[in-house]
Amino acid sequence: MMLMPKKNWIATYELLFKEGVMVVKKNAHILKHPELADKNVPNLYNMNAMQSLKSQDCMKEQFAWRHFYWYLTNEGIQYLCNYHHLHPRSCLPPCTKAILRQGGSDPTHKRIS
């Protein structure tokens, strides 16, 4: 666990909760993460926050072409809801709500008639 300002934790977790996935280039020397550049969150902080969540089984990790791809699991959604003090009924991230609006199935698996 790395010591980092609370505003950076909140900015990182809010983006993760909204998108459901985090992409981080494997370069600790980048001063700002591209998606959080307006909030001045260093890339190293995002890498360590995601690795911390992965160690708690809240994320799945994929690495390809010098980029980490972290995907939120159901345990991760629950953890972020507890972190943000959200009511369990309002605890669906926008990425999950979009899938439910489309009929509850994975949008990549469409039936061919």
Q: Report residue 12's pLDDT band, with 50, 70 and 90 as the boundaries.
A: very high
35-40 mean pLDDT: 90
Q: How far apart are CA 17 and CA 27, in angstroms?
A: 23
Mean pLDDT, the chain, rounded, equals 84
Q: Which two tokens stand for residue 25?
A: 């280039």
Least confident stretch, 22-31, 37-46, 82-91, 104-113: 104-113
Q: Report residue 66's pLDDT band, with 50, 70 and 90 as the boundaries.
A: very high
Q: How far apart are CA 17 and CA 94, in angstroms?
A: 8
What's the N-to-C CA distance of the chain in angstroms?
51
pLDDT in tens, 16-26: 988 989 999 99
Q: Which of 36, 19, 11, 8 is nearest to 70 (CA)?
A: 19
Fold category of 6-101 in CATH: Arc Repressor Mutant, subunit A (1.10.10)
HEC string of 27-70 equals CCCCCCCHHHHHHCCCHHHHHHHHHHHHHCCCEEEEEECCEEEE
Query: What is the pLDDT, as a whole number, of residue 94?
Result: 74
